[in-house]
Amino acid sequence: MGIRLSEDQIAGFRRDGYVTGIPVLAPAEVAELVARTEAFEAERPQDVAWAFDIKANLLLDWVYRLGCHARLLDAVEDLIGPDILMTNAVYRNKSPGSPVDYGWHQDGARIRVEPAFVIAYVALSPATPGNGGLRGLPGSHDRIRPFSLTEGPGQRRRLVARVLEVDESQAVDFQLGPGEAVIFHCNLVHGSAPNRGTTRRMALLYDFTPAAARQDVGRGSGQLVRGRDRWGHFAPEPLPEPGLTEANVLGRRRILSTYHENVLLGPRLPGETVTFPDRPF
């Protein structure tokens, strides 16, 4: 029996590569996060695209705090151990009619991390097949599949690994209510379709990495959110101040410029210029 998860849930994760339907947030907590998100969108629409993207946990204090939520970290600890780094957080929102299709991919394909990290999808709205909810292929985390590189949807010049052959008949939908999470292995083949429904899909996704882990290319960075880092394989990251401050923007810029070879941006290709979403402050 784990801290948060049952033995069956932990065994299911080892076998299938995911555990879903984990209660994380109370309704009031969901409402507060949705209100903060929508207030930011209304007040700073010009900053939404980049501030909600790579390492939003370095920019927005409420994103960082959710990644430190005890109920979430308890479940993560049951899967990867007590020494935990938060190595990324991003919003993944889809408005009704959004054509964004995150094709089948494995987040650990371009840069390998051992021991492997996990990804937590925390739903701030219902996640359903109709509104572009997440899907995954059980058991597909056993190895990296052959892939091709393509530009990510809405992410100009960022290359993402798309799995070449997928038997979609084997896929399962991770249907979630607001405040619930699915946690999956970084090598699980997963994706999500366009939002063909009438409701907005809102979610925050987090990468949680064992502090003992190493990358096979470059050096990553992260915020220690539980336990100790006795290894120092990942560079430490600053904690965000309240609000989208100059210090937060410059801190994120420094981290992504210095530690640009990470699972988010991939290995640096010959002659490639490091690019990431940003705006002069």
The rounded mean pLDDT for the chain is 93
CATH superfamily assigned to domain 7-258? q2cbj1_9rhob like domain (2.60.120.620)
pLDDT digits (tens, 9 = 90+) for 247-270: 999 999 999 999 999 998 889 878
Q: Which of 88, 145, 161, 84 is nearest to 115 (CA)?
A: 84
Domain range list for the chain = 7-258
Q: Of the candidates 41, 47, 12, 30, which has an alpha carbon nearest to the alpha carbon of residue 181?
A: 30
Please write the tens of the pLDDT for every residue from 198-242: 999 999 999 999 999 999 999 999 999 999 999 999 999 999 999
What one-letter code names the amino acid at 265? L
For the chain, report the end-to-end CA distance as a whole number of angstroms.
48
In degrees, rounded to 5, the angle at the alpha carbon of residue 261 between the alpha carbons of residues 257 and 263 is 120
Find the mean pLDDT for residues 3-18: 97
Asked if the model's pLDDT at residue 145 lies above 80, the reply is: yes
Determine the average pLDDT of the residues in 143-160: 76
pLDDT of residue 154: 57
pLDDT grade, residue 278 (50/70/90)?
confident
